[in-house]
Structure 1
Amino acid sequence: MEQLHQQSILFAVGINHKTAPVEIREQIFVHEDEIPALLTELRKTLVEAVVLSTCNRTEIYGVTTRTDLDLDFYKDLLINFKGAETFVSREHFFASVSCAACQQLFQVATSLDSKIVGDTQILGQLRDAYAVAKRHEATGKILNQLHQRAFKIGKQARTETRLHKGAVSISLAAVELAAEIFGSLTGKTVLVIGAGETARMTAECLIQRRVGKILITNRTRSNADELLESLKKSNNFAGETIALNELKNHLNEADIIISSTSSPAPVLEKTDFDRQTNKILLIDIAVPRDIAPEVAECKNVLLKNIDDLHSIVDRNSRRRMADLPLVKRIIMKEMSNFLVWYYSLPLLPTVLQCGAKPDKEIQSEIVRVKEFLLANVSHVHKLAMQNGAENFAGHVEVVNTLVAMKNAALTLRLEIEA
């Protein structure tokens, strides 16, 4: 068999809500200003890379040509980058190659892999992650193709199914949890810590629940002011901003605190509630956590974090289960199309891999390769998931098998034509 040239192998590796609890996820969370440095580190051994880091997942999507480095190398790289060796181990990670990595991203884009199926935020977060990688010239042919397809089916899931109808984000789930605990939020004073998109969505949900007053605080006061002004343009409600350094003086004014900053350290500690006289519900939806876990020991305080939203998640998930088969069919169709393109790359003539313009003979070969893959797409998918989903060597084995199958098919065709 002819030796294959250097192959570009797609993979995904990371930690998410299915593989690790919040106390582990917060250790590995990559802040926005850290991502460029992580991309630089990844590009030392990868051809392409995208880093997606949210409250529920930190995942690396990469393309490599090196089979001397295994998936554990990238688990260790992320752990060491975050200095999390004491808390995080390889066992907290998932890892997948080629077909399985494609499936992982498509399930993320359509929100099937979200903690809250139908999550409205994840597609935008994925777009932002891709934009950062592209801006730092960390993407290429494979990740560009993969992400554009992911964005397409993410939009399809929103517009062609009921998966997102009445769907909840983490923000809405937090507000629904507060409503369950209090019975009604009418007249309640809510303090929102943070001024980003999650804080905005939280405030919008609170306004719909007719809360009495919304207080907004943020490290940068002007951002809190801008958020409040923006909300008041389209809503009629009582609200004001407070300086973050005055936060502790307002704790007894609030019935509920919902916190969603990107602070690397807790914003509220146990000692901040030493003089808490009224009962208060704290919902921490940040990763890393904004509220120290020890706060739960304080009198008059009920503390919840994003892992406490299961009842809300489960109830709303049942409403959307009816359209899950339709979304899965959308994913499978796009996966098949992507895999035909992806596995055609190592099967095409070497001259094309170098970027040369194809002549008529090579154009005919391109057609033959794609016809071969289309005719065998079910087998390719099965082969890739069984043998090529867990390590780079498995991918090489799949490609070698496909080359042998293609050569055998070509030989048979020539014999028939003769």
Structure 2
Amino acid sequence: MQVVVVGLNHKTAPVQVREKLAFSEHSLPGALQELRKYQGINGCVIISTCNRTEIYAAVDEEHAGVESILDFLVRRSGVERVELRGYLYNYGSYTAARHLFRVAAGLDSMVLGETQILGQVKQALAIAQEHRATEKILNTLFRQALTVGKRARTETGIDQNSVSISYAAVELARQIFGTLQDRTVLIIGAGKMSELTALHLVSNGVSGVIVSNRSYERAVRLAEKFGGQAVRFSELFKYMLRADIVISCTAATHYVVRLVEMQQVMEQRGQRPLMIIDIAVPRDVDPAVGNLPGVKLYDVDALQHVIDRNLETRRKAALRAESIIEQELAGFMQWLGSLYAVPTITALKKLGEDIKQKELRRAFNRLGDLTDHDRKVIGSLANSIVNQLLHMPVVRLKEYALTPQGQLYNEVLCHLFDLPTGAEDKPNIQAAQK
């Protein structure tokens, strides 16, 4: 069995593609169960955030497993297979593990070292486990990834000097307006990202915060934290007339800010410009709204240039985090190698013993009456021949098990000697590393 990852992120695909492959939390259980039915998929975990969708799977064979995942994504997204391939990356066991460790450490995020992804990795594993979509190898891999993420943040401080999507949204607003003093901001959505954005806005001196959410009670709770005003979702466009900045981040699967309503809003605003930052994936705001006179619309991809600034400290911390990743990766690959090497060595020795016993019986039958001494000498000879023939393959497999190519050598040996693959009893990673 092997581990593969197939995915896309903010570096390989634009937001209009990522939103087609995004999985909401309530859709994950069904998606996991559906994927488990595909040929060669023995377990899976799906990480889906605004900046990435990645499927980690334990598969019988790497190529076939990747193709099954691709079939699944094509069916779910409606994107043509050829087009989708251009946005996706896929990695096998060693590189897949290293990639996940970097994701958990925040090294593969739009915001280097951001903390939210660690919780998202943990939640992805929890959902897969709850719905029995995962298995031992993936469980161990993800637990190790969470350890990596915690070590990276604790030992390097990579998550210090606050930089996040919400922070970048505020910075973009400051670039446009110069200052946020005496500005009014309308926040659509009352989730964690909205709360973080409101926190940054207030700390940068906005004079008014308006919060609108489908759940009015949640809007009230968020507005109260910042001395702002909560408005019902049905009054959203009415209060948009008062706003200078709109920041939208809901969990809706469709546009909540549409062109028709915004045309009316802008007509009533006259010459007053309106800045809209859409940090939701899938997007909350119809892209056509950005073509209206007076509207400056930015989606999550537009935040990249803001995030790229002032990250030198985090880049230095990232170098130290990479060292931690290599340490933890070596431990995981050693465990993974032992997972396959031990059963293979056992099977190889059993094969040798079976052949030896079979040939000894045949020889003894043909030789007729033999003394106990003769039998012992012949048995010792056969035993020595088998042991010497198998000695170097066993030694080399133990050595290779500690390298990234360990699983490959294991498979080659199994094919050469026609050995069964896999193991029922799999050691835990702590035991394997002792």
Q: TM-score, normalised by structure 1?
A: 0.81
Match of 2:250 among 258, 261, 264: 261
Tell me, yes or no, if the aligned pair for 2:345 and 2:394 is still in contact at 8 Å: no
Pick closer, same or farther for the CA change 1:93–1:50 going to 2, 3 Å: same
40 and 377 in structure 1: CA distance in 2 versus 1, 3 angstrom threshold: closer
1:78 corresponds in structure 2 to 73
Q: What is the aligned counterpart of 1:324 among 318, 321, 330?
A: 318
- Does the 8 A contact of 1:344 with 1:373 survive in 2? no
The 5 A counterparts of 1:95-244 are 95-229=90-224, 232=225, 237-244=226-233
Equivalent position SS for 1:296: helix
| 1:249 aligned to which of 218, 238, 243 | 238
Could you tell me which residue of structure 2 aligns to residue 36 of structure 1? 29
Q: Which residue of 2 aligns with 1:25?
A: 18
Instruction: Supply the distance in 2 between the matched residues of 1:371 and 1:340 (Cα, whole angstroms).
Output: 15
State which drifts further: 280-289 or 178-187: 178-187
User: Who is 1:359 aligned against?
Assistant: none
Name the residue aligned to 1:294.
288
Q: Deviations over 1:219-249 (max 9, x none)?
A: 22222223334xx2xxxx4301111121111
CA contact (8 A) 1:266 1:290 kept: yes
Deviations 1:244-290 (A, max 9, x none): 12111111111111111111111111222223222111001111111
Q: Which secondary structure state, in structure 1, belongs to the residue aligned with residue 342 of structure 2?
A: coil
State the alpha-carbon separation in 2 of the partners of residues 372 and 156 from structure 1. Answer: 33
Q: How many residues were matched structurally?
A: 365
Q: CA deviation at 1:53?
A: 0.5
User: Percent of pairs identical after alignment?
Assistant: 38
Judge conservation of contact 1:212–1:238 (CA < 8 Å) in 2. no
Task: Tell me, in whole angstroms, the C-alpha distance in 1 between the residues paired with 2:333 and 2:413.
Answer: 12
What amino acid is aligned across from residue 30 of structure 2 in structure 1? A
Aligned to 1:90: 85
- Paired amino acid for 1:115: M
**SS at structure 2 position matched to 1:138:** coil
SS of match in other structure, 2:73: helix
> In the alignment, does 2:30 pair up with 1:15?
no
- How far has the Cα of 1:345 moved from its partner? 1.1
What residue is the counterpart of 1:315 in the other structure? 309
Unaligned runs of at least 5 residues, structure 2: 348-392, 417-434
Counterpart code for 1:129: A
Of structures 1 and 2, the one scoring higher in RCO (CA 8 A, sep 6+) is: 1
Q: 1:67 and 1:319 mapped to 2: Cα distance?
A: 38
Question: Structure 1 residues 370, 126: CA separation in 2 closer, same or farther (over 3 Å shift)?
Answer: farther
Structure that is richer in helix per residue: 2
TM-score, L = length of structure 2: 0.78
Q: Which amino acid aligns with 2:187?
A: V
Question: RMSD of the TM alignment (CA)?
Answer: 2.7
- The Cα of 1:39 is off from its aligned counterpart by 0.4
Query: Which of residues 393, 407, 410 is equivalent to 1:399?
Result: 410
Q: Unpaired runs of 5+ in structure 1? A: 1-7, 354-368, 385-394, 406-418
What is the alpha-carbon distance in structure 1 between the residues aligned to residue 394 and residue 334 of structure 2? 7
Q: CA deviation at 1:31?
A: 1.3
Of 286-295 and 197-206, more deviation after overlay is shown by 197-206
Deviation of 1:335 after TM superposition, in Å, equals: 0.6
Kindly report which structure 2 residues correspond to 1:28-67, keeping only aligned pairs within 5 A, or say none: 28-45=21-38, 46-66=41-61
The aligned amino acid for 1:139 is: T
| 8 Å Cα contact 2:180-2:204 kept in structure 1 | yes
8 A contact 1:14–1:75 mirrored in 2? no
C-alpha displacement at 1:52, in angstroms?
Answer: 0.6
Map residues 373-412 of structure 1 onto 2, 5 A cutoff. Answer: 380-381=403-404, 383=405, 397-400=408-411
Residue 272 (structure 1) aligned with residue 261 (structure 2): yes
- After TM superposition, the structure 1 stretch with the greater mean CA deviation from structure 2, 251-260 or 309-318, is 309-318
